[in-house]
Amino acid sequence: MADRFRWGIIATGGIARAFAGGVAHSTTGRVVAVASRSRASAEKFAAEFAIPRAHASYEALLADPDVQAVYIATPHPQHVEWVVRAAAAGKHVLCEKPLGLTRAEAATAIEACRARGVLLMEAFMYRCHPQTAKILELVRGGALGEIRLVQATFGFNTAFDPANRFWNKALGGGGILDVGCYPVSFARLIAGAASGAPFADPVAVSGAVHRHPETGVDMWAAATLKFARGLVAEVATSIAVTQDNSARIYGSDAWLHIPDPWVPPREGGPTELFLHRGWKQPPEVIAVPNDAWLYGLEAEAFAAALGAGLREVPQVTHADTLGNMAVLDAWQAC
């Protein structure tokens, strides 16, 4: 275990728990420290995941010489601050999405890490899963023909609570920043694969947003992204509407249904894709094997990039993050 990549986790919420569990089942990393603003919370988290050290402040974790990289799991508005502070402490950074509340904020975080020579990745864990690699293989290999339309949704229904971060604009609430970023990311990924690039940015963004009359957060929203080569993407998100949270890619020859694009089994297990070549024909079922934990795959991709001497993780580069944030800015403005 001594030669494994050493992680520190900032914050102890649900996503931090998912990451800690993933790293515990990874082949390259281990969590050596966790920090909370509450010592009791940090100690409870550390005990649950057998983490050696619990810090009662984020600053103390950044000062921990044994921590090589930090996973930032704070609420959205705190992401940039702690990315910048982690970079100043010489720590590599995996930061939960969205990297910032705006493209400008994300650029600040990226520049801070570049200036300090540390690795930075925005944590879109689905990008590191074998299912995503298989989807890209099918698109790039021409299994669907010319890609013409992408549809993707990610939304949920939660009761109104102005104190909850989902409903609090100051906390980055609403669907677009929290989960709408996933279908936008996916659409840009597929548009890139269709044109032989890592990703593509749309030439036009239009949409509609329904906001809460009191808090102003987006309750449900949809957008259309138009790309230069003619591909069109339809994306939707919500915090007050249950959606199917799936994706479909339509080509000239066939279409692909991805039932679980965003959160494949967290604790490992196969997934299935459905390739349709005709409306009346049964689909071809494409099984994607995987034994690794979802968040462990993300940690391993990060460690692999660092081991290769990179300052960006190929699955989510800085330019990709900035392009995604620019679309989210435009969607928010609709």
pLDDT tens profile 28-46: 999 999 999 999 999 999 9
Report the C-alpha dihedral over residues 327, 252, 155, 263, rounded to 10 degrees: -100
In whole angstroms, what is the distance from residue 32 CA to residue 20 CA? 10
Look at residue 254 and tell me whether its pLDDT is greater than 90. Answer: yes
Average pLDDT score over residue span 312-332:
98
> Could you give the CA distance from residue 224 to residue 204 in angstroms, rounded to a whole number?
8
Give the residue carrying structure tokens 């103390």. Answer: 60
Torsion of CA 185, 269, 29, 35, to 10 degrees: 70
Across the range 219-226, mean pLDDT stands at 98
Using CB atoms within 10 Å of the CB of residue 178, give its burial: 0 to 12 exposed, 13 to 18 middle, 19+ buried.
buried
Per-residue pLDDT, averaged over 220-231, amounts to 97
The model's pLDDT over 168-193, given as tens digits with 9 standing for 90+, comes to 999 999 999 999 999 999 999 999 99
pTM over 0.95: yes
Question: Which whole number is the average pLDDT over 41-56?
Answer: 98
Distance, in Å, from the CA atom of 26 to the CA atom of 51, rounded to the nearest integer, reads 15
Q: Could you tell me which residues come within 8 angstroms of residue 261 by beta carbon, excluding any fewer than 6 positions away?
A: 126, 131, 132, 135, 152, 182, 186, 245, 246, 247
Compute the average pLDDT of residues 189-218.
98
Identify the burial level of 282 via C-beta atoms within 10 angstroms of its C-beta, where 0-12 means exposed, 13-18 middle and 19 or more buried. Answer: exposed
Alpha helices, DSSP H only, in 232-317?
294-307
Structure tokens at 259: 């039932």
Per-residue pLDDT at 322? 98
Domain limits, CATH 3.40.50.720, in the chain: 5-123
Rounded Cα distance between 330 and 196, Å, is 25
Residue type, 305: A
Position 331 pLDDT exceeds 90: yes
Q: What percent of the chain has pLDDT over 90?
A: 97
pLDDT at 1: 43
What are the pLDDT digits (tens) for 75-133?
999 999 999 999 999 999 999 999 999 999 999 999 999 999 999 999 999 999 999 99
Answer yes or no: is pLDDT of 47 > 80.
yes
pLDDT value, residue 280: 80
Q: Is there a contact between 110 and 318 (Cβ–Cβ < 8 Å)?
A: yes
The DSSP string of 116-136 is HT--EEEE-GGGGSHHHHHHH
Distance CA 75, CA 95 (A): 11
CB 217 within 8 A of CB 166: yes
CB 240 within 8 A of CB 229: no
Asked if residues 249 and 147 have their Cβ atoms less than 8 Å apart, the reply is yes
Give 14-23 pLDDT, tens digit per residue: 999 999 999 9
- The C-alpha atoms of residue 302 and residue 317 are separated, in whole angstroms, by 11
CA distance 272 to 278: 18
126-332 carries CATH number 3.30.360.10: yes
Query: Any idea of the CA torsion for 258, 295, 270, 142, to the nearest 10 degrees?
Result: 40
Average pLDDT over residues 2-23: 94
What average pLDDT score do residues 318-334 get? 98
Q: How confident is the model at residue 2 (pLDDT cuts 50, 70, 90)?
A: very low
For residue 70, give the DSSP letter. E
Average pLDDT rounded to a whole number, residues 194-207: 98
Q: Is 116 exposed, middle or buried (0-12, 13-18, 19+ CB in 10 A)?
A: middle
Over residues 269-319, the pLDDT tens digits come to: 999 999 999 878 899 999 999 999 999 999 999 999 999 999 899 999 999
Q: How many CA atoms within 13 Å lie on the side-chain side of 281?
A: 10
The residue to which tokens 């990039």 are assigned: 305
Q: Which CATH number fits domain 5-123: 3.30.565.10, 3.40.50.720, 3.40.50.920, 3.20.20.220?
A: 3.40.50.720
Residues of the chain with CATH 3.30.360.10: 126-332
Q: What is the pLDDT of residues 134-170, one digit of tens each?
A: 999 999 999 999 999 999 999 999 999 999 999 999 9
C-alpha torsion 60→63→64→65, nearest 10: -170
